[in-house]
Amino acid sequence: MALIIVESPTKARTFNRILKGRDYFVFASFGHIRDLPSNKLSINYKNQFQPDYQIIPNKRKVVNELRRLAKSNTEIILATDLDREGESIAYHAAYVMGFIKENWPEFNIKRSIKDKLKRIVFHEITAKALEEALKNPQELRTNLVKAQQSRRILDRIVGYELSPLLWKTMGKNWLSAGRVQTVALRLVVEREKEIRKFKLEDYFQIYGEFSQIAPFKAKLISKEGVVFEEKITTQLFTGIYTYSKTSINQKNIEEIKSDLGNDHFHVFSIDESKEKRYPPPPLTTSLLQQNAFYKCGFSSKMTMRLAQDLYERGLITYHRTDSFNLSTNFVFKAQDYIKKEFGNQYALEKPRGYKTKSKMAQEAHEAIRPTKFEKEINSTGLTINHKRLYNIIFNRAIASQMKEAEINLIKIQILSDKKYLLITLIEQVVFDGFFRLLNPKFAKENKIKPNIKVNDSLDLKTLTPELLTTKPPPRFNEASLIRILEEKGIGRPSTYAAIISLIQLKNYTEKDGRYFVPTKLGEAVCDFLAESFPEIFNLDFTASMEDDLDKVAGGEKNFIDLLNIFYEPFKKRLVEKKDQKITIDVQDELDEVCPQCKSALVIRYSRFGKFIACSSYPKCKYTKSFLKTVKGKMCPKCAGEIVIRYSKNRKRFYGCSNYPKCKYSTWKL
């Protein structure tokens, strides 16, 4: 009998279904079984940063069962996920079963039982993939374990050494600092500062609709060769930001409108060019999170939970990946599927490949794709959200192997007798290609080509001026924050969901609609840490640290050297800052007075969020809840105000201000 160890019961059930009738027993560890205790630092600096891993209290029964099973089975197969976290779970399972001889900082499998312990790696949970993995077992990949433990140690040092400094400075013993968390927060804070500095300016754009080319509108570009529009480029903390405005303003708009209204127009030129539009690549982890956010409104945390379920049920390949690769088996079967569903003209002669642009790509994974060519999935326990996410994955993977779309780009220049130039750009879809699957609406609505020629006179149907305001750089939402983290090489796709959840859970940011806004507390924490430890909490350093962790995983760098390079300057800076006597009081003023002592009321922060308190605390201990009302919305039950509340998991919902008398609540308004 062979024992197979996986992480979750769902994964175990899928294994049992595939291996039914064979001599295997599948056991789920329910995730990690050893971890660093939360009540102390648990890092031994004197012994090369040795971590003090301990069995998680509620996993003692699991550990005892693993030890019993290890004795009663002739073969032990570690089948955890193939990334660093999965390798670490496998390592700790092997350790508690007695297979690992830990001589820190080395991890050695005991030679006497080396043949009994095997590690299998697979990208999907299917019969073929498991069969292949079982035929080709590997050894435990200790370099991945070292990379995972390096990250764990780094994050523990930063979190546990800096957090007390934050408590002392801010007077709040629930705050936390994080190596990547703080950099993500800094992106949000710096962007908010850039928005505040941005100068808003009003300007106009003018559009003309002509009977002969309707419904297309032409945009006013210039007069006598002088272009109205200008592009402005500015340097941001996160990069370069470019925006446009025109010189059409309140002073000259009426003159221009009058000129155009009494003018005559003709077609000056028609330029046509052919363009091919290629499908986007299959999904990686970060692209999946971004697509799920924009198309379904899913948070990154929710997306990863749904994807984990789909993977463990054997419906998609491994969902933590940086790679655009697709297996040979998949691309040729996709070709047959495309021919059957859409016709031969939509299928490629040769499979299409994509070059991975991400500089953080690590293990040689596949992209995320379906394991079967089934558009619809039906399985017990799957929700509509599982199906929506699966649909995104399925369509993207199939579309990547479809023919490119052919577009006829038509640029029509319209000139007036008074030398005003207007331009319209028309995209005519000649062949829809992958649009047939990913964007059929676009292909359907862009089939028209105006029946006009050069020098034709045109009749102005409508003239529409639009009052616009220059736009500051946009705030980050979950998708755009993930995108910038990936572009800058900060964190890893598998960590984004946790980072984004944490900066909200700690009340460092809150959401205005779908966009992140830093709280006053978040700004204060960010500014203090960025100023006190500029070498650590900057984009370049954090990105280079991720590159070094990749080198540890690849066996190119010694992880103890990496920890030493980080810790020595960090320790020196920390000692300097601990001696400083700085106190930062974070509060927002209110135009209200305390009903008990008539002092001013202020907004303060607790681990549970904002609350209103008396500014004379501790003399006056008056407090009340801080609730943000939704303008124009009233409770349908009692006509009270609708306020924004948060669940224990920091998920926003809406409720009546008269709670608990009125218990009306809803997730969406």
The residues carrying an active-site annotation are 318
Could you give the angle at which helices 493-505 and 181-197 cross, rounded to 10 degrees?
70
- What beta strand segments (E) does 449-599 contain? 457-458, 460-469, 509-512, 515-518, 588-593
- Using alpha carbons, list the distances in angstroms from residue 261 to 161, 265, 387, 416, 418: 70, 11, 53, 11, 11
Ramachandran quadrant class, 234 (left: phi over 0; alpha: psi -120 to 50; beta: rest): beta
Contacts of 335 (CB under 8 A, 6+ apart): 347, 348, 351, 401
Contact 516, 300 (CB under 8 A): no
| Pairing verdict, β 2-6 and 24-28 | parallel
Tally of CB atoms within 10 A around 9:
12
Report whether 164 contacts 50 (CB < 8 A).
no
Q: Which residues lie closer than 8 Å to 477 by C-beta, 6 or more apart?
A: 293, 514, 515, 516
Report d(CA 491, CA 502) in Å as an integer: 14
Instruction: Give the other-Cβ count within 10 Å of 483's Cβ.
Output: 17
| Cα distance between residue 152 and residue 175, in whole Å | 19
CA of 653: how far to CAs of 225, 475, 605, 643, 645, in Å? 54, 22, 20, 9, 5
DSSP, residue by residue, 355-406: ----TT--S-PPPB-BSS--SS---TT--HHHHHHHHHHHHHHHHTTBPPEE
**Helices and strands (DSSP H and E) totals, the chain:** 18, 30
Q: Which two tokens stand for residue 103?
A: 């001589």
How many other CB atoms sit within 10 Å of the CB of residue 340? 11
Show Cβ contacts of residue 43 under 8 Å, excluding neighbours closer than 6 positions: 36, 49, 50, 51, 52, 153, 156, 157
- d(CA 398, CA 283) in angstroms, rounded, equals 11
Which tokens in the block code for residue 119? 């590690």
Distances (CA, A) of 456 to 209, 270, 463: 15, 11, 19
Q: Report how far apart, in Å, the C-alpha atoms of 514 and of each of 502, 517, 631 are.
A: 16, 10, 17
219 closest CA partner among 412, 424, 418:
424
Distance CA 551, CA 559 (A): 9
